[in-house]
Amino acid sequence: MKKAIRHILLAAISIIAATATISATELHIIPEPSYIDLEAEGYYEVTAKTRLVVNDEAWNPAERFSEYMMEYFNTDKPMRMGKRGKGIKIRIDSCVPYEGYELTSSEEGVLIIGGSEAGIFYGLQTLRQIIVTRNGKVPYGFIADEPSLAYRGVHLDVARHFFGVEDVKRYIDIIAAHKVNRLHWHLTDDQGWRIEIKRYPELTEKGSMRKETLIGHGLRPEWWDGKPYGGYYTQEQIRDVVDYAAKRYITIIPEIEMPGHAQAALHALPWLGCEEQEVDVWTMWGVTPEVMCAGKESTYEFLENVLMEVLELFPSELIHIGGDECPKDRWKECEHCQAKIKAEGLGGEEQLQGYLVARIEKFLNQHGRKMIGWDEILDGGVTPTATVMSWRGIEGGIYAAQRGNEVVMTPMKLCYFNFYQTESREGEGLHIGGHIPFELVYSWDPFEGLNPEERKFIIGAQCNMWSEYIKDMETLEHMLLPRLAAMSEVQWATERRDENSIRQRMESMRKFYDACGWRYAPYYFEGRK
């Protein structure tokens, strides 16, 4: 009953917020909270000496907040933490929505109540923004907030260009500040295999290194750099990153590409291919015809063995199997694939891929996990239990939702942050192509084309960062920010975005980025689209 009453009250104050004399826009928080009610004057000042009053159940988010404040106040002394006293009080109450929080500021201090540790963490991220952008002064008032979407994702491709552990952790810190809760980690592709698999050491010994890298657009010899390039994560490093993310309430979803985008694996283990021919780790971008053989049982044994080690490293319920851009030419010529099609009574090569995907999903389900894949997994037929990541547009997501599949929307023309940020491209350097300005991201409706019944199958939205032309952390941050702020409002505040206030709030967010030392692109702030 208590929980029901609280939900009714939050719904009521959300309606009142529309006519409140002091609105969320004046506090300039991103993503925008559900409700803010500020008093006319007065503030509580947070300093490096402010005490954190917290019970054991919320100790981790409090520790993370202390680390952020140490950085902001430029001190090597963590904030004092204890179970009694005045200052910033933190507690969990199951009557608050699970990822939601309530923040109250008064002359007595700041009180944050979260529905979970994650809710506390998000409330502290809001408090952090206020402290940084208002010089430690937290206005007296009340904030109630919760996210619109359960899955709030950001993707990182480390196969085409490799990012070390410290860079990935910095990336995690950036997305955590935007209340993101999923990191889709793209670990294998044609251009490199980046995860240690102990059963197949050749995957990293051979498959993690390519001879050179394409640095231009096209196929002219002078557009390759002529330099060997590689890198991979040990299983110990993977565990470290997964733990680091978990302490910031981000679940890492690993992607192991199959059956296409596998030329690095084929270089390491030629017997994975239809003809077992030797191929190099690919030095180009795009789609190669070299794919895993879907007709040989040894391929399925390999995939299951790899996934067993992946499952030990990643607690995520969702495991990404890729499934995209898989040419079928090799399968048409392969006696093993044609024999499998005949033996299983399949209608052709598309259904052969569907057969592979279904077998892998069954394997994951047997081990307590769920499969997620790019929307091509729909082409060969897919079970209603698979989660679909719709990237070729919104049509795949709509089709999947109509079938009852859960969907993460991430259409390329709106969510690929490796695309240019301005139409002129002036000063942006060389990138893959396309054009996605901040404003386009902000105006995106992830529920477009869906009726109310279908909308419930859209569990989230995600932006993707493919690294063909993103070779260092500075460029990565430049491409991510400030567009991630627009995406965070799509994910967290889907129905309450305000195009009239976003530019003013982004000026405040820019101050936050500066304080954190994050290297964002200037184009949006310059008025360039």
Residues 205 and 297 in one domain: yes
Q: Do residues 120 and 147 lie in contact, with contact meaning Cβ atoms separated by under 8 Å?
A: no
Q: Is position 261 annotated as part of the catalytic site?
A: yes
Residues 133 and 78 in one domain: yes
Q: Do residues 191 and 282 lie in contact, with contact meaning Cβ atoms separated by under 8 Å?
A: yes
Residues 134 and 226 in one domain: no
Alpha carbons 120 and 492: distance in angstroms, whole number: 15
Residues 222 and 254 in one domain: yes
Cβ of 146: how many Cβ atoms within 10 Å?
20
Residues 224 and 93 in one domain: no
Residues 64 and 162 in one domain: no
Q: How many domains does the chain have?
A: 2
For residues 453-475, give the mean pLDDT: 98
Confirm whether 317 is domain-assigned.
yes
In sequence order, what are the residues at sequence separation of 6 or more whose Cβ sits closer than 8 angstroms to the Cβ of residue 131? 46, 69, 72, 138
State pLDDT tens for residues 124-182: 999 999 999 999 999 999 999 999 999 999 999 999 999 999 999 999 999 999 999 99
Domain with 204 in it: what CATH number?
Answer: 3.20.20.80
Confirm whether 282 is domain-assigned.
yes
Confirm whether 365 is domain-assigned.
yes
State pLDDT tens for residues 44-91: 999 999 999 999 899 999 999 999 999 999 999 999 999 999 999 999
Residues 203 and 300 in one domain: yes
Percent of the chain whose predicted confidence (pLDDT) is above 90: 91
For residues 284-309, give the mean pLDDT: 98
Q: Is position 477 annotated as part of the catalytic site?
A: no
Residues 203 and 128 in one domain: no
Residues 94 and 165 in one domain: no
Alpha carbons 366 and 304: distance in angstroms, whole number: 11
Final residue before a domain boundary, out of 145, 178, 196: 145
Q: Is position 325 annotated as part of the catalytic site?
A: yes
Confirm whether 151 is domain-assigned.
no
Confirm whether 397 is domain-assigned.
yes
Is residue 23's pLDDT more than 60? no
Burial class (CB in 10 A: 0-12, 13-18, 19+), 366: exposed
CA-nearest of 9, 2, 20 to 102 is: 9
Residues 96 and 230 in one domain: no
AA identity, residue 201: P
Final residue before a domain boundary, out of 145, 180, 208: 145
Residues 134 and 160 in one domain: no
Is residue 12's pLDDT more than 70? no
- Domain encompassing residue 110: 2-145
Q: Which of 57, 240, 280, 325 is catalytic?
A: 325
Q: What is the mean pLDDT of the chain?
A: 94
Q: Please name every residue paired with 111 in a beta bridge, in sequence order, or none if there are none.
A: 89, 104
20 φ/ψ sector (left φ>0, alpha ψ -120 to 50, else beta): beta
Residue 417 — very low, low, confident or very high, per pLDDT cuts 50/70/90? very high
Q: How far from the centroid of its chain's Cα atoms is residue 193's Cα?
A: 20
Alpha carbons 299 and 276: distance in angstroms, whole number: 12
Residues 162 and 262 in one domain: yes
Confirm whether 150 is domain-assigned.
no
Quick one: pLDDT at residue 4? 45
Q: Which of 28, 155, 261, 267 is catalytic?
A: 261
Edge-to-edge strand list for the sheet holding 35-45: 35-45, 137-145, 101-106, 109-114, 87-92, 52-54, 81-82
Final residue before a domain boundary, out of 145, 166, 183: 145
Confirm whether 503 is domain-assigned.
no
Q: Which of 99, 146, 189, 290 is catalytic?
A: 189
Confirm whether 346 is domain-assigned.
yes
Domain with 124 in it: what CATH number?
Answer: 3.30.379.10
